[in-house]
């Protein structure tokens, strides 16, 4: 599935520092003008719960480069390939790209979303 960069927090690391580090490791770019855009909580049977933090960067330094973790892809905002992404993405990604912040709760079984609750606030 198509997904943005991400990963686990290292000891003593803030969520923002983690997002910057993971973006650099996965795409070989340094995000600039980073802002917090929300939190996502995932629950799936037979999986540990996931608490994710969402950040937006309006610019970056470097050249996006393919790595073992990711292949850089670009899409027009009105042509995002939601059918190739996780089901929850279509519920919150357009809103954070328009400047809102999100707090979302999602329940999955394997790759199927069973339930969700999504709240938005002004960014």
Phi, psi of 61 (to 5 degrees): -110, 140
Q: Report the pLDDT averaged over residues 9-29.
A: 98
Pick from 59, 100, 104: which is nearest to 86 by CA?
104
DSSP assignment of 26-68 equals HHS-EEEEEEEEEEEEEEETTS--EEEEEEEEEEEES-----S
Pick from 57, 54, 30, 27: which is nearest to 41 by CA?
54
Summarize pLDDT for 34-79 with one digit per residue, the tens. Answer: 999 999 999 998 889 999 999 999 999 999 999 999 999 999 999 9
Which CATH topology does 15-122 take? Nucleoside Triphosphate Pyrophosphohydrolase (3.90.79)
Looking at every residue in the chain, the average pLDDT score rounds to 96
The domains of the chain are located at 15-122
Summarize pLDDT for 93-102 with one digit per residue, the tens. Answer: 999 999 999 9
């Amino acid at each position: 599935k198509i997904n943005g960069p991400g990963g686990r927090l290292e000891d003593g690391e803030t969520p923002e520092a983690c997002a910057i580090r993971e973006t650099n490791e996965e795409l070989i770019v340094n995000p600039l003008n980073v802002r917090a855009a929300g939190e996502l909580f995932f629950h799936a049977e037979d999986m540990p719960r996931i608490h994710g933090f969402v950040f937006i960067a309006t610019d970056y330094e470097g050249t996006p480069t393919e790595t073992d973790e990711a292949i850089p892809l670009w899409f027009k905002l009105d042509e995002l390939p939601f059918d190739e992404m996780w089901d929850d993405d279509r519920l919150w990604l357009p809103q954070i790209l328009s400047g809102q912040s999100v707090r979302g709760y999602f329940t999955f079984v394997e790759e199927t979303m069973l339930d969700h609750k999504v709240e938005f606030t002004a960014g």
